[in-house]
């Protein structure tokens, strides 16, 4: 079952002007492609699409002129200043097929007292069924001590997923933060004064 159903309309006008008009009408330009079919240019409902894209690797059911097509968002173009979605590329998928997708890493738990953790890899690539794509890879660091290195191959992946990324990729490191020496300004000034005193006696 699809995570989100979106009603699309055919798009026949192209170019920046046509795209701006669509966005003024609270729609988003998009293209459906994949499985050897010709690209299909469509317009999607703006608000519903924006909300749906907040879900990582959501499965869409695109309804176009009565025909239903399963797809995932492969590329989303966002205007950097106003954060408006300008265009969406939708990859057509079929039930039962496996595809590779990027999945964000999420750290859970707390490392050993006195240590900190650093996320070295924010996203991993996994392969999974198109109709059951993972939204996150959890990295459990609970109780891990200083010097621990968690690699991609060490992780427990979501059910039905296999790792595509290099298993040797470092995902998280745990260490004790190094303390920089604190200079006491007043002590420093006093020391300078003590060194200068013999010169005055001369």
Task: Tell me the per-residue pLDDT of 126-153, one tens digit each, with 9 for 90 and over.
Answer: 999 998 999 999 999 999 999 999 999 9
pLDDT class of 182 with cuts at 50, 70, 90: low
Stronger pLDDT, 103 or 79, i.e. the higher one = 103
Low-confidence winner among 4-13, 36-45, 78-87, 185-194 (lowest mean pLDDT): 185-194
Question: What is the side-by-side strand order in the sheet with 149-151?
Answer: 116-119, 170-175, 149-151
Nearest alpha carbon to residue 151 among 195, 192, 120: 120
CA 202, CA 199: separation in Å to the nearest integer? Answer: 5
Residue 80: predicted pLDDT: 85
Mean pLDDT computed over 5-32: 84
């Amino acid at each position: 079952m699809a995570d989100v159903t979106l009603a699309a309309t055919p798009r026949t006008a192209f170019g920046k002007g046509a795209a701006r008009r669509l966005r003024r009408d609270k729609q988003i330009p998009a293209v459906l492609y994949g499985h050897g079919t010709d690209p299909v240019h469509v317009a999607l409902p703006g608000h519903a699409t924006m909300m749906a894209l907040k879900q990582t690797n959501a499965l869409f059911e695109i309804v176009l002129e009565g025909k239903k097509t399963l797809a995932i968002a492969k590329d989303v173009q966002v205007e950097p200043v106003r954060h408006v979605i300008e265009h969406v590329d939708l990859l057509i998928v079929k039930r039962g097929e496996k595809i590779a997708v990027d999945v964000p890493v999420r750290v859970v738990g707390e490392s050993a007292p006195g240590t900190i953790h650093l996320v070295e890899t924010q996203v991993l690539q996994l392969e999974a069924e198109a109709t059951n794509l993972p939204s996150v890879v959890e990295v459990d660091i609970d109780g891990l001590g200083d010097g621990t290195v968690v690699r991609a191959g060490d992780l427990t992946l979501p059910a039905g997923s296999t790792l595509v990324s290099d298993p040797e990729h470092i995902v998280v490191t745990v260490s004790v933060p190094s303390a920089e020496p604190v200079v006491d300004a007043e002590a420093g000034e006093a020391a300078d004064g003590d060194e200068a005193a013999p010169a005055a006696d001369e």
